[in-house]
Amino acid sequence: MERRILGGTGISVSEYALGTMMLGAWGNTDHGDAIRMVHTALDAGINFVDTADMYSEGESEEIVGKALKGRRDDVVLATKFHNPMGPDANHRGNSRRWIVRAAEDSLRRLGTEWIDLYQIHRPDPDTDIDETLSALSDLVRSGKVRAIGSSAFPAEEIVEAQWTAERRGHVRLRSEQPPYSLLARGIEADVLPTAQRHGMGVLTWSPLSAGWLSGKYGGAGGADPKTAHRSVLLAPMYDPALPGNAAKLAAVTELAKVAADLGVPLPHLATAFVRSHPAVTSVIIGPRTHGQLTSLLEGADLRLDGGVLDRIDDIVPPGTDVAHDMTFHSPAPLTDPHLRRR
């Protein structure tokens, strides 16, 4: 497993990061099996583990904490805050009040004294970025956090955070965590170049585009995404009758041909494509089962040449999203009509 430096921090991280959203009630409920999965990843050379307080309402962090006992010093551990952790309106967001509490809760669940990378899970229009960076800087200076980052930030908010840190003397964001895949390439136009200009590491998630690139869909005899996927909440993302999903299915069918010509599974093509971008530091893989994990690990050494990347560009042009359902963040003026009406 090759290593790269995380956003100029000097911290060496593996090209694959183990994402743990599926450990716990949201996926693998067997704690013993989930812990063995973490150990399998570490034994394969992964030294980067990413979680979040909201995953299975804290259960994922607890599982990760158990799995890292005796191995914590060798692992770069990342977690996130922002999303609701209870009904109280102050138990969420990016305020100093919540950040301090959320960090202590995560440290307790993870069973550790420090977090290597503490990430803002989403932007918060109700909190000044100066307030957020001030609180995070205090956590870094206290030794409870080593570095800070963002997740799903648009390019303009990344820039604002960098400028605010410089002008106010705060610790600056060292990483960004966006969704990126063969089907979701929009960030190539702005987020990735912005991260490069500011010397930030990039940890991409959903390289299989929420299962569309798992190899289950498309091609001859491919499963119907509407019935093959387990998620009820995200069912519209897999309904082939919707125009965006029909376009994804068509693209997946063509991408599967590229993978077949290379003699590799489609997931290996998908993860190798994400790793090939010079802005990407690590690709977060989020398996639910041992089989999924070991299959993805088998493709860790695949490298794509220019001819293959050109074929991919012909199917999904650079900087474009086949559908717009993988951003998971919409600016407040687009979701709250009061912000665009006098």
Q: What pLDDT is recorded for position 342?
A: 82
Q: From the CB of residue 235, how many other CB atoms can be counted at a distance below 10 Å?
A: 13
The mean per-residue pLDDT over the stretch 169-196 comes to 98
Separation CA 24–CA 19 (nearest Å):
12
pLDDT category at 172 given cuts 50, 70, 90 is: very high
pLDDT category at 234 given cuts 50, 70, 90 is: low
Structure tokens at 162: 């960098």
* pTM, 2 dp: 0.92
User: pLDDT digits over 17-52, tens only?
Assistant: 999 999 999 999 999 999 999 999 999 999 999 999
Q: What pLDDT is recorded for position 52?
A: 98
Q: Tell me which of 55, 118, 180, 217 is the catalytic residue.
A: 55
Separation CA 269–CA 260 (nearest Å):
10
Separation CA 313–CA 258 (nearest Å):
11
**Would residue 217 show up in a list of annotated catalytic residues for this protein?**
no
Rg (CA), the chain: 20
3-211+275-306 falls under which CATH superfamily? NADP-dependent oxidoreductase domain (3.20.20.100)
Domain residue extents for the chain: 3-211+275-306
Structure tokens at 218: 């498309």
Indicate the average pLDDT of the chain: 93
